Structure 1
Amino acid sequence: MNTVISLGRIGRFIGAAVCAASLSACVTAPIAQKPAMPSMEDMMAKASQVSGSGQKEQAITLWKEAAVAYPADKAPWTNIAQTRYEAGQYGDAIVSAQEILVRDPNDRLANSIIAISGLRLSTRALSDLSRQNNLSGSLRTESQDLAKLLRESLGETVLVPPQPAQAVVPARNNATAAKTKKGKAKADDDSSANPFNALK
């Protein structure tokens, strides 16, 4: 019986040793720490620096990363919208400006980008339709109604002023024109000989 007890003790001792070894392995494993998130100012400064060097798409990628890291801040979206607008990517500019309005409904720049980009897209589409002779019927009527609404909103009676007419010079009779030509030719001849003749 004595040997049975000692085997039981040895079994417990081995079990405890295995348990202690496995627990100590968990404690000594290195804990992977997340790298500290850069501040919004650092992210924006880096993106602005990249944008300043002419790499606009890379800057937009960095601004999008800043927007993901700081979702409540409108600054990254403002820069994206402005950059897209300046590049003539009006559809993308509108989408980015709408993201600004989600964060700040009273943002004037976002509303301006949406309005102007929308007008540019509309003008382009209407021009294409007009060129293709497809601007007729209800589409034409709706376009005219929207143009009227736009004129009223701007307080203008005409959205695009017509080109000023070129001043018409009255025609002179032939006798006067011939006399003037002869006088001018004589003056040219005299002026080449003596530049001070005009002062006499």
Structure 2
Amino acid sequence: MTFRVIPPSLACALLLSACATDGPQPRQDRPVAASLESAMTEAARATASGQQDKALGLLRNAASTYPAEKGPWLTMAQMKFDRASYGEAILAAQEALQRDPADQVGSSIIAVSGLRLSTKALADLSQQNNLSGSLRDEAQGLARMLRTSLGEDVLVPPVRASKPQQGAPVRRGAPQARPAAPSGADPFGSIR
């Protein structure tokens, strides 16, 4: 029995070529990302079928796949707004506005969501009778700004009695003075 000696250079070449092959399995390419339009369509279908969480997941994926697009963020903001998750709606709308600062839908979602959150917080404070000092002054300032923006003299119209009280004259055209509310009864009386 004679052993044949393989030259070292040939042995190295054989070893290197063995490492370079993939073996019998072919390489799999990465999956192609869905187009933005198809992702938005699929999210709309999921929303229509009542699968809100699936739709939000699809929109989050689309937002990460297409980071420069505002569409997924606006749709998420609208969904969160519809669910009364106003804080999350504001965050998603802000993301959309970072991509398009002139977007009116995003600005509207932020404005209305912020007002709803503020209204709830002020109502909670009112129930606790804790609206005083700088909070009261700030609430009055915001009410003045809202009245000016909306072109209204009164933000919340007073509830009118169905019939005038007996013996009390009813004046038409002149606003009636409101009686002063007892302290702690209605902290918002002066901002209406």
- With the length of structure 2 as denominator, give the TM-score of the two structures: 0.77
Q: Which residue of 1 aligns with 2:36?
A: 40
Q: Which residue of 1 aligns with 2:125?
A: 129
Q: Which residue of 1 aligns with 2:11?
A: 17
Tell me the distance in 2 between the aligned counterparts of 1:138 and 1:58. 44
Count of aligned positions: 163
Tell me the distance in 2 between the aligned counterparts of 1:165 and 1:66. 54
Deviation at 1:66, TM superposition (A): 0.4
CA offset digits 1:59-103 (Å, max 9, x no partner): 111100000000111111111000000000000000000011001
Task: Report the AA paired with residue 151 of structure 1.
Answer: R
1:80 aligned residue (60, 76, 87)? 76
Change (3 A) 1:75 1:159: same
- With the length of structure 1 as denominator, give the TM-score of the two structures: 0.75
Deviates more, 1:43-52 or 1:111-120: 43-52
Asked which structure has the greater CA Rg, the reply is: 1
Larger relative contact order (CA 8 Å, sep ≥ 6)? 2
Tell me the distance in 1 between the aligned counterparts of 2:98 and 2:147. 28
Q: Helix, strand or coil for the counterpart of 1:73?
A: coil
Tell me the distance in 2 between the aligned counterparts of 1:140 and 1:25. 76
Q: Helix, strand or coil for the counterpart of 1:49?
A: helix
Q: Helix, strand or coil for the counterpart of 2:153?
A: coil
* Cα RMSD (Å): 2.2
State the percentage of identical aligned residues: 47
Q: Which residue of 2 aligns with 1:182?
A: none
Q: Helix, strand or coil for the counterpart of 1:151?
A: helix
